[in-house]
């Protein structure tokens, strides 16, 4: 059966071999049979520039390069952890970088795909932070810094974020329903797929005679989370980690 796969929020890092193993197995055993793979952001725990060539990163890049060489197109939308993935990464892996909000034709169903952070408007502190770090000039300056310093700044940001999140309510950290509706209307579609909130679910609702669907991908902390879509629809699934 033809099918397309979606994943997000893996937060790959050298400290979580279980996630990496699950991901590499997913790539070599499952993704090879798909029509396409979409990665909707936060593939990495943090990305500080395409010039960061650790053996860990190399291993992940090789998995993507192998897949694209086998003829499976891979599309990537930036998350809030890896928005610095750039043209060089794309060239080295054969993946295609997409705009932060992209409409695709999913077996005849027009679908808006995005990371999901732009839906969280109630989180004003995050939106202010996002506007700052998305400035081209600031990103350019950051990418000119030595890797060791970039690594320290990223760690500070991660710690600052974890700290800030402890003070935020779960409503603030979820999507803003009006913004979901606005982005769907803006794109002229009734289907959306995103990640970021780590609240895997298929939301369905009816408004003014239209049936809407919003699928939220899960994170990969306890197990893998994979959305499998085909001509008959989509199925949100999990993948077990193998414990050694
Ligand atoms: O990521 P997560 O799940 O913890 O929380 C996100 C939001 N946080 C972020 C920050 C990222 O985690 C940091 C990623 C580092 C990327 C690599 C470095 C690139 C640097 C580029 C510079 C140009 O996205 C969090 C949301 C949450 O999702 C839910 O939506 O709430 O938002 C915040 O935590 C923002 C805070 O409210 C305010 C910012 C705190 C950061 C402190 C910065 C200190 C920096 C010092 C640098 C010298
Ligand atoms: Mn995210």
- What pLDDT, on a 0 to 100 scale, did the predictor assign at position 242? 86
Q: How far is the centre of ligand 1, averaged over its atoms, from the C-alpha of 155 (Å)? A: 10
**CB of 122 within 8 A of CB of 176?**
yes
**CB of 89 within 8 A of CB of 160?**
no
- What pLDDT, on a 0 to 100 scale, did the predictor assign at position 244? 65
**Could you read off the pLDDT of 168-220 as tens digits, one per residue?**
999 999 999 999 999 999 999 999 999 999 999 999 999 999 999 999 999 99
**Could you read off the pLDDT of 69-100 as tens digits, one per residue?**
999 999 999 999 999 999 999 999 999 999 99
Percentage of residues of the chain with pLDDT beyond 90 = 98
Please give the number of the atom of ligand 1 that sits closest to the Cα of 130: 24
CA distance 21 to 37: 18
- What pLDDT, on a 0 to 100 scale, did the predictor assign at position 45? 98
Mutate to test the pocket of ligand 1, among 141, 159, 161, 219 (most ligand atoms within 8 A of CB): 161
Give me the residue label for tokens 């300056």: 141
Convert 2-67 into a string of H (helix), E (strand) and C (coil).
CCEEEECCCCECCCCHHHHHHHHHHHHHHHHHCCEEEECCCCECCCCCCCCCCHHHHHHHHHHHHH
The burial class, CB within 10 Å (0-12 / 13-18 / 19+), for 137 is exposed
Q: ipTM, 2 decimals?
A: 0.97
Architecture of domain 4-117+182-239: 4-Layer Sandwich (3.60)
Nearest CA to ligand 1 atom 20: 154
**Which is nearest to 91 in space by CA: 120, 68, 111?**
68
Q: How far is the centre of ligand 2, averaged over its atoms, from the C-alpha of 83 (Å)? A: 10
What global pTM score does this model have?
0.97
**CB of 118 within 8 A of CB of 196?**
no
Q: What is the mean pLDDT of the chain?
A: 97
**CB of 199 within 8 A of CB of 215?**
no
Instruction: Check the annotation: does 117 bind a ligand.
Output: no
Rounded average pLDDT over 229-239? 98
Strand-pair category, 210-216 with 74-76: unpaired
**Could you read off the pLDDT of 20-51 as tens digits, one per residue?**
999 999 999 999 999 999 999 999 999 999 99
**Is the Cβ atom of 3 under 6 angstroms away from ligand 1?**
no
CA distance 90 to 47: 14
- What pLDDT, on a 0 to 100 scale, did the predictor assign at position 243? 72
**Could you read off the pLDDT of 58-73 as tens digits, one per residue?**
999 999 999 999 999 9
Mutate to test the pocket of ligand 1, among 51, 80, 176 (most ligand atoms within 8 A of CB): 80
Q: What is the DSSP letter of 231?
A: T
CA distance 42 to 65: 18
**Could you read off the pLDDT of 129-153 as tens digits, one per residue?**
999 999 999 999 999 999 999 999 9
Q: Calculate the alpha carbon distances from 77 to 39, 115, 162 in Å.
A: 6, 7, 23
Q: Is the pLDDT of residue 231 over 80?
A: yes
**Which is nearest to 219 in space by CA: 63, 73, 81, 48?**
81
**CB of 76 within 8 A of CB of 68?**
no
Of 243 and 4, the one with more pLDDT: 4
Helix (H, G, I), strand (E, B) or coil at 115: coil
């Amino acid at each position: 059966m033809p099918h397309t796969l979606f994943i997000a929020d893996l937060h790959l890092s050298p400290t979580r071999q279980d996630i990496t193993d699950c991901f590499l197995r997913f790539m070599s055993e499952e993704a090879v049979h798909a029509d396409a793979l979409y990665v909707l952001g936060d593939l990495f725990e943090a990305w500080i520039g395409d010039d960061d060539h650790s053996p860990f990163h190399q291993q992940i890049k090789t998995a993507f390069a192998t897949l694209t060489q086998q003829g499976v197109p891979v599309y990537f939308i930036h998350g809030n952890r890896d928005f610095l993935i750039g043209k060089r990464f794309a060239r080295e892996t054969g993946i295609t970088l997409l705009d932060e909000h992209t409409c695709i034709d999913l077996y005849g169903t027009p679908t808006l795909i995005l990371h999901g952070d732009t839906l969280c408007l109630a989180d004003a502190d995050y939106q202010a932070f996002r506007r700052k770090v998305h400035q081209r000039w600031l990103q350019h300056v950051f990418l000119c810094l030595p890797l060791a310093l970039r690594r320290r700044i990223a760690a500070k940001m991660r710690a600052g974020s974890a700290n800030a999140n402890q003070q935020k309510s779960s409503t603030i950290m979820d999507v803003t329903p009006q913004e979901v509706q606005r982005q769907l209307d803006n794109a002229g579609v009734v289907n959306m797929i995103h990640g970021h909130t780590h609240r895997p679910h298929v939301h369905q609702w009816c408004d003014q005679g239209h049936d809407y669907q919003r699928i939220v991908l899960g994170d990969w902390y306890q197990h893998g989370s994979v959305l499998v879509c085909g001509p008959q629809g989509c199925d949100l699934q999990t993948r077990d980690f193998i414990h050694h």
